[in-house]
């Protein structure tokens, strides 16, 4: 775990110095949320009803951008090769990358949360616990898939387009679960239902994390 | 003409396909409410079976490649993926052709339909990925993605089907399949499974031949220099 923590710390320090990813993602997501509101007829309640879905799609788009940026950083100057040469289990590289991407995503989502509440007229406090349980669990599954797929596509021609092409359909379970939990949390629905979906999300996370940990060392071997 | 094993399978397939056409068009009873449109179902379900078998083949071949690191496994996975995408496309075309007269619309967001479409996206993505990375790296990337994709399908299926569904459950739900329909269904499934086998094998031979040509070209270049 020490190596994973070191990679996590390195990524976070890098971000703390530049704040490049978090700022870019927040501005991008703010823009997407705004643009979505134009897709409805003026005065209709559609955007508010679609809000959980809109927010999650925003998360996915921004998440893909963030992953791309995080791995571009590693490719520049051959850093990724250096990372793989480090005397540690490759699985730890995977966990470190997952952890740092997860934290960066959550920071940007925390900044976006009140903006979302204001734009789509939802209280940022009501049901916040359930909503964030869903967001964090959804993020874990997304990141587990995203990091392994970033490694898969790292040598691909036109990887900017191939990554979303592969990642979006694969992360559908996460999207379905995340949207369900968020809908229930914002609508103040029954806690039981939300809990069922939180359980399912946790199960997806376990599946994807185990698969990612097992498959990551295979993709990066030379 | 001497029959060798290379020819037996295609000939069997041809016979099975003609027999299935005859069984579906002449032998099978006409469905009471849907009429002749229902005959699409034999082809539709058989394509789905062929697609499913092909993708299972991709999954097994990908595991085989990861364990053995031999190109033949990789070629098998890539060939089966192409055939699987072909049959999934046919499923997605024949489904709406049936749904339009029966359901009154081409497409609904039913779990079965949605997951089949996702399946198509996943393996189209697989083929794109294969083209984008050459050589051994591409083979390994493809194998890893194929495993993720195959595991994701049941996960997607359950996450979506916890929602709602109207797609007929002919085989499991005991949805009243007329005894006269069972034989045409069985023979058309057999025919298309054989066809997918033939296609995968042809594609595999082609891939192996292309590999061989590449190796000869490299050897020739070495000799010249």
Per-residue pLDDT tens for B13-71?
Answer: 999 999 999 999 998 888 878 888 889 999 999 999 999 999 999 999 999 999 999 99
Closest-approach residue (CA) in chain B for A175: B159
The residue-averaged pLDDT of B199-218 equals 94
pLDDT of residue B171: 59
User: Does residue B223 sit at the A interface (CB-CB below 8 Å)?
Assistant: no
- Residue to mutate among B67, B117, B144, with most A CBs inside 10 A, is B144
The residue-averaged pLDDT of B176-185 equals 82
Closest-approach residue (CA) in chain B for A172: B156
Q: Among B122, B137, B163, whose Cβ lies nearest the Cβ of A169?
A: B122
Cα–Cα distance measured from residue A128 to residue A163, given in angstroms and rounded to the nearest whole number: 31
pLDDT of residue B185: 92
pLDDT higher than threshold 60 for residue B181: yes
CB pairs under 8 A between A and B: 78
Res. B165 pLDDT band, cuts 50 70 90? low
- Asked if B20 and B187 touch (Cβ cutoff 8 Å), the reply is yes
User: Does residue A219 sit at the B interface (CB-CB below 8 Å)?
Assistant: yes
pLDDT of residue B48: 94
pLDDT of residue A189: 65
- Residue to mutate among B85, B120, B129, B162, with most A CBs inside 10 A, is B129
Residue numbers in B near A149 (CB within 8 A): 145, 148
User: What is chain A's length?
Assistant: 222
pLDDT of residue B156: 86
pLDDT of residue A190: 66
Cα–Cα distance measured from residue B207 to residue B200, given in angstroms and rounded to the nearest whole number: 10
- Asked if A138 and A176 touch (Cβ cutoff 8 Å), the reply is no
Regions in chain A scoring below 50 on pLDDT: none
Res. B3 pLDDT band, cuts 50 70 90? low
Rounded to the nearest 10 degrees, what angle do helices A2-18 and A90-119 cross at? 40
Residue numbers in A near B133 (CB within 8 A): 153, 155-157
pLDDT of residue A58: 95
pLDDT higher than threshold 70 for residue B207: yes
Q: Given the structure tokens 């993602």, which residue do they identify? A: A25
Q: Among B141, B155, B162, whose Cβ lies nearest the Cβ of A152?
A: B141
Res. B143 pLDDT band, cuts 50 70 90? very high
User: Does residue A206 sit at the B interface (CB-CB below 8 Å)?
Assistant: no
* Nearest alpha carbon to residue B48 among B149, B119, B110: B119
3-state SS, chain A, equals CHHHHHHHHHHHHHHHHHCHHHHHHHHHHHHHHHHHHHCCCCCCCHHHHHHHHHHHHHHHHHHHHHHHHHHHHHHHHHHHHHHHHCCCCHHHHHHHHHHHHHHHHHHHHHHHHHHHHHHCCCCCCCCHHHHHHHHHHHHHHHHHHHHHHHHHCCCCCCHHHHHHHHHHHHCHHHHHHHHHHHHHHHHCCCHHHHHHHHHHHHHHHHHHHHHHHHHHHHHHCC
Cα–Cα distance measured from residue A141 to residue B147, given in angstroms and rounded to the nearest whole number: 16
φ/ψ (deg, to 5) at A89: -65, 135
pLDDT of residue B119: 94
The residue-averaged pLDDT of B199-224 equals 93
pLDDT higher than threshold 70 for residue B174: no
Query: B205-214 long-range contacts, Cβ below 8 Å, gap at least 24?
Result: B206/B79, B207/B75, B207/B78, B207/B79, B208/B72, B208/B75, B211/B71, B211/B75
- Asked if A148 and A211 touch (Cβ cutoff 8 Å), the reply is yes
Residue numbers in A near B156 (CB within 8 A): 172-173
Q: Say what the alpha-carbon torsion angle A6, A11, A15, A16 is, to the nearest 10 degrees.
A: 0
pLDDT higher than threshold 80 for residue B173: no
Res. B161 pLDDT band, cuts 50 70 90? confident
Task: Using the Cα atoms of residue B165, residue B169, residue B173 and residue B175 in order, give the sign of their dihedral.
Answer: positive
- Asked if B119 and B81 touch (Cβ cutoff 8 Å), the reply is no
pLDDT of residue B172: 56
Rounded to the nearest 10 degrees, what angle do helices B111-132 and B40-68 cross at? 40
- The reply to whether residue A158 touches residue B132, judged by beta carbons under 8 angstroms, is yes
Which two tokens mark B219? 């050897």
pLDDT of residue A41: 81
pTM of the model: 0.91
**% of residues, chain B, pLDDT over 70:** 93
- The C-alpha R_g of chain B, in whole angstroms, comes to 20
How confident is the prediction for chain B on average, in pLDDT?
90
DSSP character at residue B167 = S
- The C-alpha R_g of chain A, in whole angstroms, comes to 18
Cα–Cα distance measured from residue B168 to residue B112, given in angstroms and rounded to the nearest whole number: 9
Q: Work out the minimum CA distance from B150 to partner chain A, whole angstroms.
A: 10
**% of residues, chain B, pLDDT over 90:** 70
Q: Among B121, B137, B143, whose Cβ lies nearest the Cβ of A169?
A: B121
- Residue to mutate among B74, B152, B163, with most A CBs inside 10 A, is B152
Cα–Cα distance measured from residue B118 to residue B134, given in angstroms and rounded to the nearest whole number: 25
- The reply to whether residue B129 touches residue A156, judged by beta carbons under 8 angstroms, is yes
pLDDT of residue B129: 96
pLDDT of residue A159: 86
């Amino acid at each position: 775990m020490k190596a994973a923590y070191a990679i996590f710390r390195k990524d976070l320090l890098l971000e703390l110095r530049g704040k490049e990813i978090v700022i870019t993602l927040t501005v991008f997501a703010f823009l997407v949320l705004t643009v979505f509101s134009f897709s409805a007829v003026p005065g209709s309640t559609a955007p508010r009803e679609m809000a959980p879905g809109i927010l999650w799609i925003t998360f996915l788009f921004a998440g893909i951008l963030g992953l791309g940026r995080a791995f571009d950083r590693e490719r520049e100057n051959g850093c990724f090769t250096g990372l793989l040469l480090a005397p540690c289990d490759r699985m730890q590289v995977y966990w470190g990358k997952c952890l740092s991407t997860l934290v960066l995503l959550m920071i940007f989502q925390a900044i976006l949360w009140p903006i979302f509440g204001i734009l789509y007229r939802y209280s940022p406090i009501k049901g916040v616990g359930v909503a964030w349980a869903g967001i964090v669990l959804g993020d874990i599954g997304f990141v587990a898939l995203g990091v392994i797929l970033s490694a898969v596509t790292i040598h691909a021609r036109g990887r900017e387009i191939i990554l979303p092409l592969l990642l979006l359909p694969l992360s559908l379970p996460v999207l379905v679960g995340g949207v369900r939990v968020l809908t229930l949390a914002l609508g103040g629905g029954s806690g039981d239902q939300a809990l069922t979906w939180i359980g399912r999300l946790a199960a997806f996370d376990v599946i994807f994390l185990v698969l990612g940990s097992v498959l990551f060392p295979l993709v990066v071997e030379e | 003409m001497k029959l060798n094993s290379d020819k037996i399978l295609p000939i069997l397939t041809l016979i099975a396909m003609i027999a299935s056409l005859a069984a579906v068009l002449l032998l099978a009873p006409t469905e009471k409410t849907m009429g002749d449109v229902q005959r699409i179902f034999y082809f539709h379900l058989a394509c789905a079976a062929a697609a499913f078998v092909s993708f299972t083949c991709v999954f097994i071949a990908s595991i085989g490649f990861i364990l053995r690191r031999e190109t033949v496994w990789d070629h098998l996975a890539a060939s089966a993926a192409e055939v699987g995408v072909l049959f999934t496309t046919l499923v997605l075309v024949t489904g709406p052709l049936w749904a339009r007269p029966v359901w009154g619309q081409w497409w609904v967001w039913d779990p079965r339909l949605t997951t089949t479409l996702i399946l198509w996206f996943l393996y189209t993505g697989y083929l794109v990925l294969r083209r984008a990375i050459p050589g051994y790296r591409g083979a390994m990337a493809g194998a890893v993605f194929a495993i993720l994709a195959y595991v994701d399908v049941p996960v997607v299926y359950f996450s979506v089907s916890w929602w709602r569904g109207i797609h007929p459950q002919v085989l499991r739900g005991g949805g009243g399949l007329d005894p006269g329909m069972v034989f045409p269904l069985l023979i058309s499934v057999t025919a298309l499974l054989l066809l997918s086998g033939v296609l995968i094998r042809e594609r595999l031979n082609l891939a192996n031949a292309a590999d061989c040509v590449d190796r000869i070209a490299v050897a020739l270049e070495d000799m010249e220099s």
